[in-house]
């Protein structure tokens, strides 16, 4: 991990030098669909990509196989999970695009995760960061969608931030009942799960999208979130759902102000940390890693990078070449 920090630190100091600013901030986005994302996980010298995303949102549905068939050795009857209407916030979901730099970045992140899975078992990934607003929810949701689009993988996306749960807003669905209700013993696993009703692409005649994504919203943990996140019921949830899914992605709260993510991480195979380009300080990234030292940290995702840092052997993704 030291190479990752070296890279982050070096990139930060180079940007400071370039712009001659004591602190770097990302400029406000000029339009709702203007988005910059960069993804790197582990060994960023080889994997860091940076590109701008802006463009028309067109979704070609790649799925024509119909709804996934959930079977498994466990005791859950996933056929009873309700299908609910979702209204995706497409501007926050570049992973749904067919092409373009942003979708390439999430594919790149996905590939790195596949490589890590080849080395050791990896199915449940918690996404966290040091502080609020670094892009945890953005990365978790788009990573889950990117994984779900790969060979119709079955993906469970869990909003593990029971204080500032936002994934239901990105997906445009209900937030209750959710994880907090399950952890408090007020609902069963299948009662807090939901799937989208067949979603139609804006393109006329398109086939449904996302039939293989299952979602657990945050529910409202409020001031009980810390206690709830420490409940053994979360481990039970992961254990029971694991046989039915190829991937389980868990969004979480920032690790420095509250301990929830550290608690949830104990039941996950790995942790992906997010650092926001031009915002996350090296010391914050370092402390975030330290808080999660008992977990298997997979690497950092460098999010919202405007310019490609010229560090070592990094390579950049040229958004003009598609």
Ligand X SMILES: Nc1ncnc2c1ncn2[C@@H]1O[C@H](COP(=O)(O)OP(=O)(O)OP(=O)(O)O)[C@@H](O)[C@H]1O
Footprint on this chain of ligand X (rule: CB under 6 A): 29, 35-37, 92, 129, 132-138, 161, 164, 166, 254, 303-304
Q: Does residue 214 contact residue 193 with C-beta atoms inside 8 Å? A: yes
**How many CB atoms neighbour CB 293 within 10 A?**
9
> Is 194 one of the binding residues for Mg ion (CB under 5 A)?
no
252 binds, among ligand X, Mg ion, none (CB under 5 to 8 A by kind): none
66 binds, among Mg ion, ligand X, none (CB under 5 to 8 A by kind): none
Q: Does residue 168 contact residue 216 with C-beta atoms inside 8 Å? A: no
SS3 state at 106: helix
Nearer to ligand X, 167 or 248 (CB): 167
**Size of interface with Mg ion, in residues (CB under 5 A):** 2
> Is 92 one of the binding residues for Mg ion (CB under 5 A)?
no
* Nearest distance from C-beta of residue 128 to ligand X, angstroms: 9
Cα–Cα distance measured from residue 128 to residue 134, given in angstroms and rounded to the nearest whole number: 9
92 binds, among ligand X, Mg ion, none (CB under 5 to 8 A by kind): ligand X
- Alpha-carbon distances, residue 198 vs 83, 86, 269, 317 (angstroms): 8, 9, 31, 34
Determine which helix (DSSP H) or strand (DSSP E) holds 216, and give its type and residue range.
strand 213-216
CA pseudo-torsion sign 159, 166, 145, 292: negative
SS3 state at 124: strand
Residue closest to Mg ion, measured at CB: 137
Site string for Mg ion, 128-157 (x = CB under 5 A): --------xx--------------------
**How many CB atoms neighbour CB 3 within 10 A?**
12
Nearer to ligand X, 61 or 273 (CB): 273
Nearer to ligand X, 211 or 309 (CB): 309
Cα–Cα distance measured from residue 197 to residue 200, given in angstroms and rounded to the nearest whole number: 9
- Residue in 277, 239, 237, 275 with CA at minimum distance from that of residue 255: 275
* Nearest distance from C-beta of residue 12 to Mg ion, angstroms: 23
Instruction: Determine how β-strand 155-159 pairs with β-strand 213-216.
Output: parallel
Nearer to ligand X, 55 or 74 (CB): 55
* Nearest distance from C-beta of residue 165 to ligand X, angstroms: 8
Nearer to Mg ion, 58 or 169 (CB): 169
Nearer to ligand X, 136 or 149 (CB): 136
Structure tokens at 226: 């810390």
* Nearest distance from C-beta of residue 265 to ligand X, angstroms: 15
132 binds, among Mg ion, ligand X, none (CB under 5 to 8 A by kind): ligand X
Q: Does residue 144 contact residue 136 with C-beta atoms inside 8 Å? A: no
- Residue in 147, 254, 162 with CA at minimum distance from that of residue 217: 162
Nearer to Mg ion, 136 or 154 (CB): 136
106 binds, among ligand X, Mg ion, none (CB under 5 to 8 A by kind): none
129 binds, among ligand X, Mg ion, none (CB under 5 to 8 A by kind): ligand X
4 binds, among ligand X, Mg ion, none (CB under 5 to 8 A by kind): none
* Positions in the binding site for Mg ion (CB under 5 A): 136-137
């Amino acid at each position: 991990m030291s190479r990752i920090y070296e890279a982050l630190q070096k990139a930060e100091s180079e940007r400071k030098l370039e712009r001659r600013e004591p602190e770097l901030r990302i400029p406000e986005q000029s339009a709702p669909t203007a988005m910059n994302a960069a993804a790197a996980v582990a060994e960023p010298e080889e994997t860091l990509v940076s590109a701008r995303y802006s463009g028309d949102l067109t979704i070609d549905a790649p799925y024509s196989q119909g709804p996934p068939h959930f079977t498994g050795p466990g005791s859950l009857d996933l056929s009873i999970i309700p299908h609910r209407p979702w209204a995706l916030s497409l501007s926050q979901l570049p992973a749904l695009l067919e092409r373009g730099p942003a979708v390439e970045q999430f594919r790149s992140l996905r590939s790195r995760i596949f490589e890590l899975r080849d080395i050791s078992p990896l199915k449940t990934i918690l996404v966290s960061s040091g502080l609020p607003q670094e892009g945890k929810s953005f990365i978790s949701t788009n990573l889950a969608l990117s994984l779900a689009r790969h060979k119709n993988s079955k993906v469970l996306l869990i909003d593990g931030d029971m204080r500032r749960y936002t994934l239901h807003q990105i997906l445009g669905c209900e937030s209750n009942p959710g994880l907090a209700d399950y952890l408090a013993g007020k609902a069963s696993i299948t009662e807090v799960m939901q799937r989208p009703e067949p979603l139609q692409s804006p393109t006329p005649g398109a086939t449904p999208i996302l039939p293989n994504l299952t979602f657990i919203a945050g529910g409202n943990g409020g001031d009980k979130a810390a206690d709830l996140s420490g409940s053994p019921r979360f481990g039970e949830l992961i254990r029971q759902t694991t046989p039915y899914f190829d991937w389980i992605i868990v969004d979480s709260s920032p690790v420095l102000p509250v301990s929830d993510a550290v608690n949830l991480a104990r039941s996950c195979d790995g942790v992906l940390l997010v650092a926001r380009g031009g915002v996350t300080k090296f010391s914050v990234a370092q402390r975030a890693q330290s808080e999660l030292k008992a977990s298997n940290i997979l690497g950092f995702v460098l999010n919202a990078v405007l310019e490609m840092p010229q560090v070592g052997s990094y390579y950049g993704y040229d958004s003009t070449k598609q």
